[in-house]
A and B are shown apart, each in its own frame.
Chain A
Amino acid sequence: MSASVLYDHPGPRARARNRVLSVVFAVLLVAGLYGIYRAFDSTQQWTWQKWQPFFETVTVNGQTANFWTDYAWPGLLATLQAAATAMLLALAFGLVFSVARLSEHWWIRVPAGVVVEFFRAVPVLLMIFFLSFGGFWVFGTLIPPFWSVVIGLTLYNGSVLAEAFRAGIRAVPKGQSEAAYSLGLTKGQVMRVILIPQAARSMLPVIVSQLVVVLKDTALGYIVSYPELMLEGSKGYAVFTNAVPTFMVLALIYIVINGLLTLVAHLLERRANRLGVTNPATKAATAATAATGLGGGGGGSGA
């Protein structure tokens, strides 16, 4: 019960008062929603003609098109493809740089730290523009929009994951690595066999939440003409002339997918707690970084 810190269990009087307040605010909320409805209605955003494309194939100016099969589905596939590629690369990037930042040699630790700090501070959009518009000058070849989006997202989210992994690895109780060393394992073995597996399991929820961030940020592809869900949707509303309804439907698609991912993250967290694979120290560390990552993320996301 999240609220229990703030107030006691309500007695009869408090319950009566809450009921009255509920009714008052419900009326206000409905009035607000009706106001929003009317505001959009003033420019005919709710007409069947504008919403029909989401329910059936329509013919506009002699052109037959279906919102789902012609625009949303191909766009969604491109979005998922970019998100999955970026996430896999970000995991590899994060793993390499978290281990590098824990290195005993300063000439590995310091440069890795600089790289991670740099990519966490630079907006993703800036990297995407650099690759898309400057790629030809720097690498002598045009970088396709897919790769500018994927590389931009990889560098940022990889850096965020690197920090999360590092905190997770450091939070594994010291006795674990001490015991491993005393058994004669080498540094590499201790990291590979003892530390990373224990840290990774408790970080599964963090990884899934980061996937939400990646998926949302693929929408930046819209700006550099990568045909993901946003761009395909905008091609759709150019045909159907229904920009506002299309944005609402696109938002709904993102909310459903990200909602499912968040649900998976919660289930994984519950499972980890139940199996007891999460020791409290690791959990605290990952939670702390997750909160910070949220910035990135979510918010962060962004760009």
Chain B
Amino acid sequence: MDVFLDPANRQAYLDGFLTILKLTGASALLALVLGMLLAACRVSPVPVLRALGAGWVHLFRNTPLTLVILFCFFGLYSAVGVEFSEDIHINNYWLAVTGLSAYTAAFVCEAIRSGINTVPVGQAEAARALGLSFSQNLRLIILPQAMRSVVAPLGSILIALTKNATIAGVIGVAEASSAMKALIESNGDQTIAIFAVFALTFVALLVPVGYAFSALANRLVVRR
């Protein structure tokens, strides 16, 4: 374990996970907003919007994240000239966030859509029979029930996103997996200890999140 006695190495480890958390935080927020908009498109009565939502989901669900993030670098940055910052590190961070958000939004959209589909048609029919308007129906009847069944899938998506953030390393973001690789390359004799520390940090971060979300989902579940 002496590899972690060196303050520089400890800093690399901490910075790596801090970057993972920053990538996850920003992407989770953006993906949630974008995913909700896409879900709204997918269930709207306007065919063009439905096609847009479906197209986005098919595009990003079937493309490897490595490709999406590389495209953000080569396509958005190099070819189109999308530049978030003069500082290359900050720029790469936001390019990675762009890719992660666009990719994750497709999964959020599908989770919300299937949540809406779990609400029995009778609920909406009863609401309409009582004279509730479209927006009342949505606000008071459908979304409260749908959001409850969306909690568990959203938890899994958040966990997947945190792990996917390691792929940002492919465009040079100094996240945890790159930090681990660098540490192993300079301290090969302590490979097992280094891997154990990094892997167990992920376990310590993600297993409680998983349990918290399933506990929450169990509490909120609509029993039918």
**Chain A interface (Cβ within 8 Å of chain B)?**
2-8, 10, 14, 18, 21-22, 25-26, 29, 39-40, 42-43, 45, 117-118, 121-127, 129-130, 133-134, 136-138, 212, 216-220, 222-223, 230, 243-244, 247, 250-251, 254-255, 258-259, 262, 288, 291-303
- Which residue among B42, B43, B67, B81 has the maximum number of chain A CB atoms within 10 Å of its CB? B67
Q: Is B167 an interface residue (CB 8 A)?
A: yes
Cβ 8 A contact of B156, one of A8, A117, A129, A294? A294
* A2-B113, A123-B177 known; A291 vs B66 contact (CB < 8 Å): no
User: Given the complex, which residues of A lie within 8 Å of B107, measured CB to CB?
Assistant: 294-295, 298-299
For the A-B complex with A18-B45, A243-B78, A295-B153 known, give 19 more contacts whose Cβ atoms are closer than 8 Å. A6-B43, A6-B116, A21-B46, A22-B46, A40-B75, A122-B163, A125-B177, A126-B177, A129-B180, A130-B184, A138-B191, A216-B64, A244-B79, A251-B71, A258-B61, A259-B62, A299-B104, A299-B157, A302-B163
User: Given the complex, which residues of B lie within 8 Å of A14, measured CB to CB?
Assistant: 45
Cβ 8 A contact of A230, one of B67, B155, B164? B67
* A5-B142, A42-B80 known; A303 vs B163 contact (CB < 8 Å): yes
- The complex places the Cα of A293 from the Cα of B116 at a distance, in Å, of 19
* A22-B48, A125-B169 known; A251 vs B191 contact (CB < 8 Å): no
- Are the C-beta atoms of A134 and B188 separated by less than 8 Å? yes
Contacting residues of chain B (62-84) with chain A, CB-CB under 8 angstroms: 62-67, 70-71, 74-75, 78-81
Q: Give 6 closest A-B pairs by Cβ, nearest first.
A: A295-B156, A299-B160, A219-B64, A134-B191, A258-B62, A300-B160
- Are the C-beta atoms of B45 and A118 separated by less than 8 Å? no
- Are the C-beta atoms of B159 and A216 separated by less than 8 Å? no
**How close is B61's CB to chain A, nearest CB, in angstroms?**
6
User: Given the complex, which residues of B lie within 8 Å of A251, measured CB to CB?
Assistant: 59, 63, 67, 71
- Are the C-beta atoms of B59 and A294 separated by less than 8 Å? no
User: Given the complex, which residues of B lie within 8 Å of A121, measured CB to CB?
Assistant: 159, 163, 202-203, 205-207, 210
| Total inter-chain residue pairs, C-beta < 8 Å | 233
User: Given the complex, which residues of B lie within 8 Å of A118, measured CB to CB?
Assistant: 199, 203
- The complex places the Cα of A4 from the Cα of B121 at a distance, in Å, of 7
Residue of B nearest to A223 (CB): B170
- The complex places the Cα of A299 from the Cα of B96 at a distance, in Å, of 15
Q: List 12 A-B contacts (CB under 8 A).
A: A40-B80, A125-B166, A126-B166, A129-B177, A134-B194, A218-B64, A243-B79, A244-B71, A258-B62, A291-B111, A295-B158, A302-B166
**How close is A286's CB to chain B, nearest CB, in angstroms?**
14
- Are the C-beta atoms of A291 and B128 separated by less than 8 Å? no
- The complex places the Cα of A227 from the Cα of B113 at a distance, in Å, of 37
User: Given the complex, which residues of B lie within 8 Å of A127, measured CB to CB?
Assistant: 199
**How close is B60's CB to chain A, nearest CB, in angstroms?**
9
- Are the C-beta atoms of B152 and A292 separated by less than 8 Å? yes
- Are the C-beta atoms of A6 and B202 separated by less than 8 Å? no
- The complex places the Cα of A233 from the Cα of B145 at a distance, in Å, of 46
Residue of A nearest to B122 (CB): A5
Cβ 8 A contact of A43, one of B81, B169, B194? B81
**How close is A218's CB to chain B, nearest CB, in angstroms?**
8
**How close is B146's CB to chain A, nearest CB, in angstroms?**
9
- Are the C-beta atoms of A291 and B184 separated by less than 8 Å? no
* A5-B124, A117-B203, A133-B184 known; A212 vs B160 contact (CB < 8 Å): no
User: Given the complex, which residues of A lie within 8 Å of B128, measured CB to CB?
Assistant: 8
- The complex places the Cα of A115 from the Cα of B127 at a distance, in Å, of 48
Residue of A nearest to B156 (CB): A295
Q: Is B52 an interface residue (CB 8 A)?
A: yes
